[in-house]
Chains A and B, each alone.
Chain A
Amino acid sequence: MSKLKVSVWRSAGSGAQEYFDVPRKENQTILDVVTYIQRNLDPTLSYRYACRVGMCGSCAMSVNGKARWTCRTHVDKVCDSDALDLRPLENFPVVKDLVCDMQTFFDKQKKAGGAFLGAHTREDSVALIKPDSSGRMAVDEAIECIGCGVCYASCDVVKWKPDYLGPAALNRTWTLVKDERDTRRLDRLRAVSGDAGCHSCHSQMSCTQRCPKLLSPTHSISGLKREVSRAALKGEL
């Protein structure tokens, strides 16, 4: 059976790549590969996952230089040869080995106004949103975000400008700005219109290129740019 030569980032000391030979199997995912290493070769290897089916957003890492979810990335899809290079996501501080610290990433969602606030209480009936209403249609894809951080790791504006709220946080805000139940539209537009907000996006689209859910944060961000401009012209901001 052929073997994969896997180079894995280890954070011990000042950090370095460490090499492992892993047997190649059919339908093998990248997550299978790191799990094999941890169970059979080096139990001290740290990485993160939970659902294994592309729902929780915890397993992302840099695979041969590109940020990917690993539970649903097949080795065959990303390896032309038998070399595999695994590193923690870019643009995140590293906790250990392949585990990165998502704190700033989620803090930015809060900063961008990512927490829903409606007018209904639990005594009220459930709001009915028509599937074909324009607001609902505008965010049909964007609400599927699993918070994996792949877009954030792929965005060069995040790299160049660490304050930048980033594609996932802005995408989240877009879904709320378009939510007819929401009560804080202008606060949200204010939160994303500063120097660290939507106007810093250069439309490079690496986020959209890489999002494993095939969402387009670029599209959401351009929507925010238009909403902010419109509100500013109307003198609302």
Chain B
Amino acid sequence: MTNGSYALKARSHPSYVAFILHRVSGLLLAAFLPLHFLALSQALHGEAALDSFLSWADNPMVKIAEVGLVLMLALHLGCGLRVMALEALGWTSWQKSMVAIAFGGSLVAGTFFLLRVF
């Protein structure tokens, strides 16, 4: 095995994965913010501008991206709750279950949204 794959293996435990997901989902959410503000600002340009934006947002690719967005939001929330439980309540032994709940919860939220969108 190479050095890199050893390093990866050493870090593949639930808490480390949760740490990474927390960061990545946070960054992706931050990257989405400008788009969000752009959408809101369309409303300032009147009904027509907003409507054309909203109809663009109806195309399936955008919908799929939205599912991803909800997933990211749920993941970020779940991972945040994990850290808060760990730090504020000292729930160390619950860690693995918290991670599992975070994953499960985000999948359920993502799927639910997926079903409603189409």
Contacts and interface: CB of A to CB of B under 8 A. Distances in A.
B6 A65 contact: yes
Interface in B1-39: 1, 3, 5-7, 9-11, 13, 15-16, 19
Nearest to B8: A65
Interface of A: 64-66, 83, 85, 154, 156, 202-206, 208-209, 216, 218-219, 222-223, 225-226
Given A156-B11, A208-B15, A216-B92, 12 more contacts: A64-B1, A65-B6, A65-B10, A203-B82, A203-B83, A204-B15, A205-B15, A206-B11, A209-B13, A218-B86, A218-B92, A219-B92
Given A64-B6, A65-B1, A65-B9, A202 B92 contact: no
Contacts of B13: 205-206, 209
A216 B92 CA distance: 8
Nearest to A221: B87
A203 B10 contact: no
B20 to A, nearest CB: 9
A154 B7 CA distance: 10
B74 to A, nearest CB: 19
Interface of B: 1, 3, 5-7, 9-11, 13, 15-16, 19, 82-83, 86-88, 90, 92, 95
Given A65-B10, A204-B16, A206-B11, A222 B1 contact: no
Nearest to A210: B10
A219 B90 contact: yes
Contacts of A202: 19
A191 B15 CA distance: 27
A14 B36 CA distance: 52
A37 B15 CA distance: 36
B6 A206 contact: no
Nearest to B83: A203
Contacts of A219: 90, 92
A94 to B, nearest CB: 15
6 nearest A-B residue pairs (beta carbon): A65-B6, A205-B15, A219-B92, A204-B19, A222-B87, A66-B10
A6 to B, nearest CB: 14
Contact of A223 (B3, B10, B90): B90
A226 B16 contact: no
A205 B16 contact: yes
Contacts of A216: 92
B19 A203 contact: yes
Contacts of A209: 13, 15-16
A202 B9 CA distance: 19
A85 B1 contact: yes
A206 B87 contact: no
Contacts of A205: 13, 15-16, 95
20 contacts: A65-B1, A65-B5, A65-B10, A85-B1, A85-B6, A154-B10, A203-B15, A203-B86, A205-B13, A205-B15, A206-B13, A206-B16, A209-B13, A209-B15, A209-B16, A218-B86, A219-B90, A222-B86, A223-B90, A226-B87
